[in-house]
Amino acid sequence: MKFKNKVAVVTGASRGIGQAICVAFARESATVVGVARSDLAETETAVKNAGGNFIAHNADLGTGTQKESAEVIAQILAKAGRIDVLITNAGIIRRAPAKDFSEADWNAVIATNLNSPFFLMQAAGKWWIETGRAKSPENSRLKIVNIASLLSFQGGITVPAYTASKHGIAGVTKALANEWAKERINVNAIAPGYIATENTQALRADAARNRAILERIPEGRWGAAEDIAGGCVFLASGDSDYLNGAVLNIDGGWLGR
């Protein structure tokens, strides 16, 4: 019941990690706002089965503009009344050798993975500082959790735009934490390891890469979306009120190897 009477907004909520995060918050009695450009019916069913309330919000965050993100936050506030938790999970990946990487792919990845999360945080933070905090219970907080990556620390292979965007997410997380901690806003991030989702299908299908990845992970397995969801619940709860500007690795021990 950690999130009873609280609203948790999750982008990229239609499948994978985003859907698992929605279900995790539902189990703690949150009202979950799922944001995605694709159909959210499956997530809505899963959330309701887990005991939570669900609000579907269809939006394409691919343009990454300030106006688009501000409108999404305003529309969610109109539907849900408030925002207590914002999880910026939506992301895309494009794979190509650096010498052949197209401008279109570069711009699409940066817009979705970096521009959009920043402007969503900006709009939610502005609402909290100017309006939401005064109307909230004493000592309550706005919790923001960004989904970073192992490639917030490493270079990766044939994913230059994705790597740049995830390095950027780690930096913006720290920058906003520095500025907003005094406003009772916690901004942290989770860096997932190798998780079995649609984005990693190409790696898992490549026998050599799959074997090399598993050999380095001390846990000896690909992570599940649910492994990331638990970390989001922790960072969004009162248990982490003194944690700000952190990038939490949930990677089966990969970075410690």
Does 200 have pLDDT greater than 90?
no
Does 198 have pLDDT greater than 90?
no
What local confidence, expressed as pLDDT, does residue 95 receive? 94
Mean pLDDT of 115-133: 97
Query: Using one digit for the tens of pLDDT, what is the confidence trace for 183-197?
Result: 999 999 999 999 998
Q: Is 158 exposed, middle or buried (0-12, 13-18, 19+ CB in 10 A)?
A: middle
| Residue 162: active-site member | yes
What local confidence, expressed as pLDDT, does residue 199 receive? 77
Tokens of 182: 């005094």
Say which range, 11-25, 90-104, 200-214, has the weakest mean pLDDT: 200-214
Query: Is 199 within 8 Å of 237 (Cβ atoms)?
Result: no
Handedness of CA 58, 129, 145, 63 (dihedral sign): positive
- Which candidate, 186, 185, 175, 166, places its Cα nearest to that of 249? 166
Mean pLDDT of 61-90: 97
* Strand ranges (E), 173-255: 185-192, 247-250
Does 49 have pLDDT greater than 80?
yes
Query: Using one digit for the tens of pLDDT, what is the confidence trace for 132-184?
Result: 999 998 899 999 999 999 999 999 999 999 999 999 999 999 999 999 999 99
Q: CB neighbours of 64 closer than 8 A, spacing ≥ 6?
A: 110, 111, 112, 114, 115, 116, 119
Does 202 have pLDDT greater than 90?
no
Mean pLDDT of 231-241: 97
Amino acid at 138: E
1: confidence class by pLDDT, cuts 50, 70, 90: confident
203: confidence class by pLDDT, cuts 50, 70, 90: confident
The owner of tokens 């999130």 is: 3
> What percent of the chain is modeled with pLDDT above 90?
95
Mean pLDDT of the chain: 96
In the set 25, 119, 128, 162, the catalytic residue is 162
* Whole-model pTM over 0.85: yes
What local confidence, expressed as pLDDT, does residue 18 receive? 98
Determine the Cα–Cα distance for residues 12 and 6; give it in Å rounded to an integer: 20
